[in-house]
C-alpha cells in the first residue's frame, strides 16, 4: 500500500514538471469539503506566499479545489514545483487532504478574449484569489465593520465594472449576460427579487473611495485596487482591438469566476444577477 501511495505521489510530481505555459495545476481533495477553505488558508496558503511561488489562483470544483501556480520571476520552475509538492504531501500526512494529483492546465483562452485577454485574466484571477481568502480570514476572525459576503462581493464587482469604463446601462447588460447563464430558480418569484432593488441600487452606485482609503472598507483596499487595475487593463485592451471577444462578455465570465471563489451557490448567483439586472435595466 505504501508503495502504491508513493507511486501515486511520484506520478503527480512528474506531471507537475511537464505542465505547459508556466502554469501548474493540481487538484486537491480535502478531507472535509465544507471546511476546505479554512484548511487551505491554514495549511497551504503560507507556502504560496513565500519562496519561489509567484502568481497562483484557485477555483472550487467539488469534490476538489483546483490550484494553479506559477514560479516567481526570479525563481526556477522546479523550485516552485518542489515547494507546492512538499506542502501537498504534508497536507496528506496531516490528514487535511485525502489526495492530490496534477492535471494538465487547459486555459480558457477563447472565453477570456484570446492570448492578451487571458494574460490579463491570470493577473485578475490572482488578485481576486488573494482578496477572497483575505476577506474570509477577516470574517472568520470577526473583524469589526466588515460587510457581509454578499454585499462585499457586489461592491467589489460594481467597482470592477466601473473601472472597466462601463456606463450604467452597460453594467446592466453584463448582469443580464450572467442572468442568462444563471436563470432564476422556479421556486423564486420575480416579486421576491424585486424587493432587493432599492438596497442594491445604493450598493451598486456607492462612492466607496473615502471608505476604502481609510474608513470602514479599508481592509478591502488592496483587493479592490487589484480588481480595478484588471478592469482598466481589459478596457484598454478592448479599446485597441486586442481582445477577441466583446469586453462585456469577458467581464461577465470574470464575475462568475469570482463568485465561484467566494463560494456562492448557483442559486445565490441567479438571484443576485437577476436583482442587479433589474436594478439597472428594470423588470
What's phi and psi for 29, nearest 5 deg? -100, 110
Distances (CA, A) of 82 to 64, 88, 254: 21, 10, 30
Q: Is domain 2-103 in CATH 1.10.530.10, yes or no?
A: no
pTM, full prediction = 0.92
Please state at what angle helix 149-163 crosses helix 247-262, rounded to 10 degrees. 160
C-alpha cell at 259: 463568485
* pLDDT tens over the chain, length 283 residues: 445 445 445 544 554 444 446 899 999 999 999 999 999 999 999 999 988 999 999 999 999 999 999 999 999 888 998 999 999 999 999 999 999 999 899 999 999 999 999 999 999 999 999 999 999 999 999 988 899 999 999 999 999 999 999 999 999 999 999 999 999 999 999 899 999 999 999 999 999 998 998 888 999 999 999 999 999 999 999 999 999 999 999 999 999 999 999 999 999 999 999 999 999 999 8
What is the C-alpha to C-alpha distance for residues 221 and 217, in angstroms, rounded to an integer? 7
Which distant-in-sequence residues (6+ apart) come within 8 Å of 10 by Cβ?
none
pLDDT at 10: 52
What pLDDT score was predicted for residue 22? Answer: 85
Number of CB atoms found within 10 A of residue 133's CB: 18
pLDDT digits (tens, 9 = 90+) for 5-51: 454 455 445 544 444 468 999 999 999 999 999 999 999 999 999 88
* pLDDT value at residue 6: 54
**Secondary element (H or E) of residue 99:** strand 97-103
Give the residue extent of every domain in the chain.
Answer: 2-103, 114-281
Amino acid at each position: 500500500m505504501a508503495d502504491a501511495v508513493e507511486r501515486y505521489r511520484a506520478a503527480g510530481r512528474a506531471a507537475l514538471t511537464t505542465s505547459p505555459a508556466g502554469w501548474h495545476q493540481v487538484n486537491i481533495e480535502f478531507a472535509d469539503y465544507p471546511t476546505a477553505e479554512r484548511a487551505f488558508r491554514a495549511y497551504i496558503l503560507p507556502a504560496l506566499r513565500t519562496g519561489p511561488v509567484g502568481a497562483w489562483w484557485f477555483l472550487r470544483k467539488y469534490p476538489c479545489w483546483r490550484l494553479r501556480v506559477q514560479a516567481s520571476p526570479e525563481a526556477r520552475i522546479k523550485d516552485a514545483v518542489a515547494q507546492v509538492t512538499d506542502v501537498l504531501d504534508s497536507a496528506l500526512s496531516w490528514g487535511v487532504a485525502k489526495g492530490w494529483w496534477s492535471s494538465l492546465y487547459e486555459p480558457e483562452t477563447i472565453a477570456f478574449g484570446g492570448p492578451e485577454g487571458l494574460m490579463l485574466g491570470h493577473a485578475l484571477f490572482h488578485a481576486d484569489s488573494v482578496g477572497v481568502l483575505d476577506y474570509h480570514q477577516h470574517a472568520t476572525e470577526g473583524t469589526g465593520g466588515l460587510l457581509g459576503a454578499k454585499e462585499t462581493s457586489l461592491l467589489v464587482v460594481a467597482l470592477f465594472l466601473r473601472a472597466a469604463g462601463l456606463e450604467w446601462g452597460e453594467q446592466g447588460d453584463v448582469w443580464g449576460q450572467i442572468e442568462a447563464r444563471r436563470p432564476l430558480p422556479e421556486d423564486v418569484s420575480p416579486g421576491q427579487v424585486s424587493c432587493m432593488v432599492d438596497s442594491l441600487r445604493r450598493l451598486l452606485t456607492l462612492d466607496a473611495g473615502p471608505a476604502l482609503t481609510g474608513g470602514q472598507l479599508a481592509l478591502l483596499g488592496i483587493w479592490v485596487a487589484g480588481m480595478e487595475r484588471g478592469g482598466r487593463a481589459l478596457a484598454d485592451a478592448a479599446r485597441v482591438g486586442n481582445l477577441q471577444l466583446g469586453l462585456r462578455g469577458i467581464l461577465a465570465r470574470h464575475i462568475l469566476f469570482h463568485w465561484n471563489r467566494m463560494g456562492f451557490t448557483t442559486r445565490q448567483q441567479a438571484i443576485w444577477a437577476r436583482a442587479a439586472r433589474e436594478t439597472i435595466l428594470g423588470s
